């Protein structure tokens, strides 16, 4: 994979990935991330983003809203 900005080679590293989701900040560890060695641009693998979105949707159905239970 090449960097979209400088066309240098990108390497895959396992990094923390922080997601903002409806006011919540979630940090995922060891997420496969493409990192450009030349300009430090980083991009999380698309498959990972899809998996994270699936997980967040699932979270939504699992976590009950405390206000609705009261
Ligand atoms: Zn680059």
Q: What is the pLDDT of residue 70?
A: 58
Determine the distance from the C-alpha atom of residue 54 to the mean position of all C-alpha atoms in its chain, rounded to a whole number: 12
CA 4/CA 25 separation, integer angstroms? 27
Mean per-residue pLDDT pooled into runs of 10, the chain (70 residues): 95 92 87 95 90 81 62
Q: State the distance from the centre of ligand 1 to the C-alpha of 2, rounded, in angstroms.
A: 8
Domain ranges of the chain: 10-63
Q: What is the pLDDT of residue 61?
A: 67
Q: What is the pLDDT of residue 63?
A: 58
Q: State the distance from the centre of ligand 1 to the C-alpha of 6, rounded, in angstroms.
A: 4
Task: Count CB-CB contacts under 10 A for residue 34.
Answer: 19
CATH number of 10-63: 3.10.20.860
């Amino acid at each position: 994979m090449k960097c979209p900005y400088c066309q240098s080679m990108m390497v895959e590293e396992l990094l923390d990935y922080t997601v903002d989701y409806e006011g919540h900040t979630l940090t995922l560890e060891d997420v496969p991330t493409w990192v450009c060695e030349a300009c430090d641009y980083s991009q999380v693998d698309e498959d990972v983003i899809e998996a994270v979105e699936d997980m967040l949707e699932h979270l939504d159905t699992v976590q009950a809203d405390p206000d609705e239970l009261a």
